[in-house]
Amino acid sequence: MSIRHVRTTPRIGAAALLAAVLTFSLAACGDEDGKGQGQGNASSSAPTPGKDEPTKSGDGKTYPDTSTVLATFKGEKGLEMVVHEAKRDSGGFLTVTGEFKNTSGNGYTTPVQWNGLEQDVALTGSSLAAMTLTDSKDKKRYYVLRDTDNRPLTTTKYTSLIKAGETLPFFAQFPSPPNTTTEVGLTFPGFTTGTIEIS
């Protein structure tokens, strides 16, 4: 019985060695394939933005073509707020999109006043909660919408510094005025006031 055991041991050892070699080979092939796929995905999923491609903010939302300008509001220290679109949607909301442009030769630090005066909203971090719309026809003022956690439905958590020559795309969502209202006044701290058309 002991002789039989000695004879089978080399067979078991050889089988174990073969299994180990196959496992190692498959793992090596898998690593090579994985690396190749990863590099391919990285290069294909991160295209270089073109001049006419839509821009995106830190919230990942896509904004309209910047060639459309509804209004430009002058701010302090060479900052401009350009509004590209004010659009109603089927859910009863009005979304304003645009960008802040630093036309000066110096960096611009965004003020805390942009967050609004509500303490609960200010605690959620940087936002554009201070933006308001005014419907002079119906004599109503509209504030930026909030979610159930008091987070404003605007661009949030943006960098506090807009460098010279750079832009900061933004959006802000409001309750939609009546369909009979075709334009509203826009007010935002540090900028001139004016009207924008609703599409």
Neighbouring C-beta atoms of residue 108, cutoff 10 Å: 22
Give the strand pairing for 132-135 and 140-143. Answer: antiparallel
Q: Identify the DSSP state of 153.
A: S
Considering only residues 130 and 32, tell me which one the structure prediction assigns the higher pLDDT.
130
Q: How confident is the model at residue 60 (pLDDT cuts 50, 70, 90)?
A: low
Single pTM value for the model: 0.68
For residue 176, pLDDT over 90 is answered with yes
Above 70 in pLDDT, residue 46?
no
CB 134 within 8 A of CB 185: yes
Quick one: which H or E segment has residue 86? strand 79-88
Q: What is the mean pLDDT of residues 121-150?
A: 92
For residues 117-131, average pLDDT: 89
**CA 20 to CA 130: how far, in whole Å?**
65
Using alpha carbons only, give the angle 89, 95, 101 rounded to the nearest 5 degrees.
150
Give the alpha-carbon dihedral of 55, 102, 81, 52, to 10 degrees: -30
User: Would you state the pLDDT for residue 41?
Assistant: 32
| Cβ within 8 Å of residue 101, ≥6 positions away | 79, 80, 81, 82, 167
- In this predicted structure, the answer to whether residue 96 has a pLDDT above a threshold of 90 is yes
Q: Tell me: pLDDT of 186 over 70.
A: yes
